[in-house]
């Protein structure tokens, strides 16, 4: 079933099953979709506001120009989403324990987000922005980090040899996290 320019909130008639639907230019507000099965669903130009999608099943889900604002997205595996048209932005979201595997995340915006113990592996993050993000124990491995801006984020630990860096922005506070593998003391 197709849905176009609709608002889904606690007062709406909600979809019984979220799988295999197409949502275009829809807004989702204040919904608890934790552990919901959203597999093989398409979201295009949609916005999620103050929603809980913790541990939702997003295998084969298309996320094309989707904005998540003030959402709980803990333990999601974005590597299982459809790679076709994949583009997302996050504002004030909890993305702890999420995984991004082999995703094109060019120019993705992570603003005021918690990304504790998240994993970015084999992703292209060229031009991405991590603004005021908590990156405690977040893993970055085999990524392209060209022109990524980490300058206002904190708790960053990153192996420069294990990622492609070019004109990547860091703050002086991030320096110890870039040298962790050398087991040196900076005082």
Rounded to the nearest angstrom, the gap between the alpha carbon of residue 153 and the centroid of all alpha carbons in its chain is 15
Q: What is the mean pLDDT of each run of 10 residues along the chain (187 residues)?
A: 90 76 96 93 98 96 98 97 96 98 98 98 98 98 98 95 95 77 69
Length of the chain counted residue by residue = 187
d(C-alpha 29, C-alpha 50), whole Å: 6
**What does the alpha-carbon distance between residue 20 and residue 1 come to, in Å, rounded to a whole number?**
8
pLDDT of res. 187: 65
Q: Where are the beta strands (DSSP E) in the chain?
A: 2-4, 7-8, 22-24, 27-29, 42-44, 47-49, 62-69, 87-91, 99-101, 109-111, 119-121, 129-131, 139-141
pLDDT given for residue 16 in this prediction: 67
Contact of 106 with 126, CB cutoff 8 Å:
yes
Structural domains in the chain, CATH included, are 1-94 (2.160.20.80), 99-187 (2.160.20.80)
> Over the stretch 86-139, which tens digit does the pLDDT of each residue have?
999 999 999 999 999 999 999 999 999 999 999 999 999 999 999 999 999 999
Among positive and negative, which fits the CA dihedral 165, 99, 28, 133? negative
Q: Are 95 and 73 in contact (CB under 8 A)?
A: yes
* Confidence at residue 19, expressed as pLDDT on a 0 to 100 scale: 86
pTM exceeding the 0.85 threshold for the entire prediction: yes
Would you state the pLDDT for residue 17? 75
The per-residue pLDDT for 186 is 67
Q: What is the pLDDT of residue 100?
A: 98
């Amino acid at each position: 079933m197709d849905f176009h320019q609709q608002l889904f909130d606690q007062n709406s008639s909600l979809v019984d099953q979220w799988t295999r639907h197409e949502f275009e230019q829809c807004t989702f507000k204040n919904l608890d979709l934790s552990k919901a099965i959203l597999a093989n669903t398409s979201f295009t130009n949609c916005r999620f506001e103050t929603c809980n999608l913790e541990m939702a099943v997003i295998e084969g889900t298309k996320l094309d120009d989707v904005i998540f604002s003030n959402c709980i997205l803990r333990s999601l595996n974005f590597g299982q989403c459809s790679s076709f048209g994949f583009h997302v932005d996050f504002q004030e979201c909890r993305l702890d324990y999420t995984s991004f595997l082999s995703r094109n995340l060019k120019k993705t915006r992570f603003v005021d987000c918690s990304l504790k113990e998240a994993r970015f592996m084999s992703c292209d993050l060229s031009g991405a922005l991590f603004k005021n993000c908590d990156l405690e124990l977040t893993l970055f491995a085999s990524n392209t980090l060209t022109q990524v801006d980490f300058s206002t984020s904190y708790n960053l630990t990153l192996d420069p040899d294990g990622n492609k860096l070019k004109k990547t922005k860091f703050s002086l506070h991030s320096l110890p996290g870039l040298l962790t593998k050398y087991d040196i003391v900076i005082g």
